[in-house]
């Protein structure tokens, strides 16, 4: 199965599994960016632990779900965002102030919008979760 956006596909699988009450979900294909996104989700307590297994078809992630996700998705197109525009995109993708996270890719790696605001750097929007 050819996928155009593996990040969007993985986040969609996570959201669908959350909605039907599953305790874990398998994600593939696996990229390093997806692993970094899952680390940010885990740090913010949206998902539990995960393990990466090597198979003959590539890597597979088995992710434990905590039932804390109401919505998550990738942001397309990947808007470039400056420090001044953070509030505008926060209002567009999150339901309330300080409720949920937006993941942004910067020159210093992946981080949440809140961390990027503290470091005073911009980047490109990648995904959101609340």
| Mean pLDDT rounded to a whole number for the chain | 95
pTM score, whole prediction: 0.94
How high is the pLDDT of residue 3?
A: 66
3 state SS of 97: coil
Q: Does the pLDDT of residue 55 top 90, yes or no?
A: yes
Q: Are 7 and 61 within 8 A, CB to CB?
A: no
Distance between CA atoms of 130 and 125, rounded to whole angstroms?
Answer: 15
Please give the domain boundaries of the chain with CATH numbers for all domains: 6-65 (3.30.1370.30), 75-129 (3.30.1490.10)
How high is the pLDDT of residue 104?
A: 98
Q: Which two tokens stand for residue 103?
A: 């993941």
Q: Which two tokens stand for residue 115?
A: 């961390």
Chain segment 10-42, per-residue pLDDT in tens: 999 999 999 999 999 999 999 999 999 999 999
Burial (0-12, 13-18, 19+ Cβ within 10 Å), 96: exposed
Chain segment 92-111, per-residue pLDDT in tens: 999 998 899 999 999 999 99
E-strand ranges in 40-122 read 47-55, 58-65, 72-74, 80-81, 101-106, 109-112
Q: How confident is the model at residue 70 (pLDDT cuts 50, 70, 90)?
A: very high
């Amino acid at each position: 199965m050819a996928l155009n956006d593996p990040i969007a596909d993985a986040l969609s699988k996570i959201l669908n599994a959350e909605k039907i009450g599953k305790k874990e979900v398998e994600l593939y294909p696996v990229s390093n960016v997806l692993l970094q996104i899952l680390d940010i989700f885990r740090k913010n307590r949206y998902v539990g632990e995960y393990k990466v297994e090597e198979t003959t078809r590539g890597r597979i992630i088995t992710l434990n779900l905590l039932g804390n996700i109401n919505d998550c998705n990738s942001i397309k197109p990947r808007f470039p965002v400056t420090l001044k525009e953070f509030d505008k995109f926060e209002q567009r993708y999150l339901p309330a102030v300080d409720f949920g996270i937006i993941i942004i890719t910067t020159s210093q790696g992946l981080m949440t919008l809140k961390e990027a605001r503290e470091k005073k750097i911009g980047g490109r929007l990648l995904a959101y979760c609340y």
